[in-house]
């Protein structure tokens, strides 16, 4: 039974649960497995290392599942970022997630191609900027989450509650949730 939310509708998945990029383990097998459960799988472009390997991995993921999945491109960390994005667009990937730094140029290319753009960030300021640039949704990582940290970053629950009031696009919580 599909759980109808703004996120599940945007991503065409049964449940509003997204697989994180998960650095080196976000491969096509993992993404396909997650999508098969009804959640939304995410192939991490940096795992593929080269544009041709990314193309092959996208095709393998499609062979393994007929359900939607996205590709994460981490700005500043993904090798061959321009070529990787071009491969995603050529292969018809419907949802592209950018992460970390301002991704205006990449988000613009995604939107011009008629695809969905999600931007992952750590602060409300950057989430508002991504919304202004046309992001279809934002992922916010709280202080408890792993990965890059920002001196302005707040705990997850604080960030998500604030974002829900400030943003018009869907807000997706990421990282950990903790209390003292």
Q: Locate 115 and state its tokens.
A: 């695809």
User: What average pLDDT does the structure give for the chain?
Assistant: 92
pLDDT (0 to 100) of residue 180 = 57
Question: Is it true that domain 6-122 has CATH number 3.20.20.70?
Answer: yes
Per-residue pLDDT reduced to its tens digit, 32-51 = 999 999 999 999 999 999 99
pLDDT band at 120 (very low <50, low <70, confident <90, very high): very high
pLDDT (0 to 100) of residue 173 = 94
CB 125 within 8 A of CB 152: yes
The pTM of this model reads 0.93
Please, which residues bridge with residue 98 across strands? 73, 119
Which residues, at least 6 apart from 68, have a Cβ–Cβ distance to it below 8 Å?
11, 12, 13, 35, 40, 94, 95
**What angle, 0 to 180 degrees and rounded to 10, lies between the N-to-C axes of helices 124-132 and 156-166?**
30
CB 117 within 8 A of CB 170: no
Nearest to 153 by CA among 140, 166, 164, 165: 140
Q: What mean pLDDT do residues 123-146 have?
A: 93
């Amino acid at each position: 039974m599909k759980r109808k939310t703004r996120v599940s509708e945007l991503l065409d998945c049964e449940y509003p649960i997204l697989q994180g990029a998960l650095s080196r383990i976000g491969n096509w097998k993992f993404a396909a497995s997650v999508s098969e459960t009804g959640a939304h799988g995410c192939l991490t472009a940096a795992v593929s290392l080269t544009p041709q390997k990314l193309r092959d991995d996208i095709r393998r993921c499609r062979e393994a599942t007929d359900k939607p999945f996205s590709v994460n491109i981490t700005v500043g960390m993904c090798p061959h970022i321009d070529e990787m994005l071009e491969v995603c667009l050529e292969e018809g990937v419907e949802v592209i997630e950018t992460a970390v730094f301002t991704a205006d140029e990449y988000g613009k290319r995604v939107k011009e191609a008629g695809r969905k753009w999600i931007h992952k960030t750590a602060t409300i300021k950057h989430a508002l900027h991504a919304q202004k640039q046309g992001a279809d949704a934002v992922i916010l990582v709280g202080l408890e989450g792993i990965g890059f940290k920002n001196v302005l970053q707040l705990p997850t629950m604080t960030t998500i509650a604030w974002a829900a009031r400030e943003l018009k696009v869907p807000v997706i919580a990421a990282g950990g949730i903790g209390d003292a």
